[in-house]
Amino acid sequence: MRTIEAVTDIAAGPAEIWAVLTDFPRYPEWSAYLQRIDGRAEPGARLRLVEGPPGEKPYVVRVPVLEATPGVRLAWAATIPGFAWLPTAIFTGTHEFVLHELPGGTTRFTHREHFGGLIARLTAEGAKGADEGFEAFNAALKRRVEQLR
């Protein structure tokens, strides 16, 4: 299983970050990697994501929300199932944002995805441009949250 992770400290509390993170209609104003999210940050809800690394053609995925604990964790999962003759999933990805409050009014924001399934076993790379995209998303979120303070 491959994991991509980007960690950024943001000078704001978890509630402030959560408010920006879950304000999906405003993503086009500040986020280049996750360009658009339609849906609600509620467990069991389905999200429609338009995403891709900056400069690349975006792709659309539909995912169920696994967890939406305000100020703590937002997670969703993507799966491409196998076939009757191939019971292993072709691809799985669990995407999560974790907020951890630090002393002094700062929050550590962790943006992570765990890749599994057959495709993940065949490549060590993971999704093209994801590392850079995650870093870009974190930097954009940090700018957005800290500008709103």
Domain ranges of the chain: 2-148
Tokens of 137: 């998303």
Residues in CB range of 84: below 8 A, 6 or more apart? none
Contact between 7 and 108 (Cβ < 8 Å): yes
Residue 146 has pLDDT above 60, yes or no: yes
pLDDT tens for 91-120 read: 568 899 999 999 999 999 999 988 765 555
Instruction: Enter the pTM of the model.
Output: 0.84
Residue 12 has pLDDT above 90, yes or no: yes
Please report which confidence band the pLDDT of residue 2 belongs to, taking 50, 70 and 90 as the band edges. confident
2-148 topology per CATH:
Alpha-D-Glucose-1,6-Bisphosphate; Chain A, domain 4 (3.30.530)
